Structure 1
């Protein structure tokens, strides 16, 4: 594949990055495939090299009290170097094959 060309990951509404990277675990310039869940969340930690933590919040229905409660979970993600994201950004992440022990999601872009 040409270095100037990035491939389409097949997710509607996600913009392709402007920069080019040489990361083999990048869904745009490497060989990583996106399949399964798509989740929106907030990038709360981005300090390690190419990895971060995304917090997602969701509503859970408690049948005993017949009301909803707000819950949140943290998901470890791989951040490709071609994306311009920083802590506090709302991002969309996609499920991939396991990249490491705790990382099975990759950041696809900003929301």
Structure 2
């Protein structure tokens, strides 16, 4: 099995997806982000939502912003709505998809 270059466990199930970093030819590289899956209603695509704080100098306070990133979800990585996932940058897969899900992060709860 090919090593993808990140310290993530390899999925136990196989898949026949060409755009899978574990079982296909897609090579993730670059930025790694972590966020919550906002929706998984599309086929092999999830939308990952990340929240961050932005300082507003006029009021000397922070404002909460969020960014939504579409990511490819291979069949062997079972990412569902509400899961915390780790996504890695890859080559453009479509007009908006430039990330792939590499791991579902286990929460400490």
| TM-score, L = length of structure 2 | 0.88
Task: Give 1:39's match in structure 2, choosing from 33, 38, 42.
Answer: 33
Question: Cα RMSD (Å) of the superposition?
Answer: 1.2
Q: 1:59: Cα distance to partner?
A: 2.0
Greater than 4 Å deviation, 4+ residue runs: none
Gaps of 5+ in 2: none
- CA deviation after TM superposition for structure 1 residue 16, in Å: 1.0
What pairs up with 1:44-59 in 2 under 5 angstroms? 44-59=38-53
Aligned counterpart in structure 2 of residue 11 of structure 1, from 6, 18, 23? 6
Q: Which runs of 5+ in 1 are unaligned?
A: none
Q: Aligned pair count?
A: 105
| Whole-angstrom distance in 1 between the partners of 2:104 and 2:60 | 35
How many angstroms apart in 2 are the aligned matches of 1:26 and 1:67? 42
TM-score, scaled to structure 1: 0.87
Q: Secondary structure at the match of 2:70?
A: strand
Structure with greater strand share of residues: 2
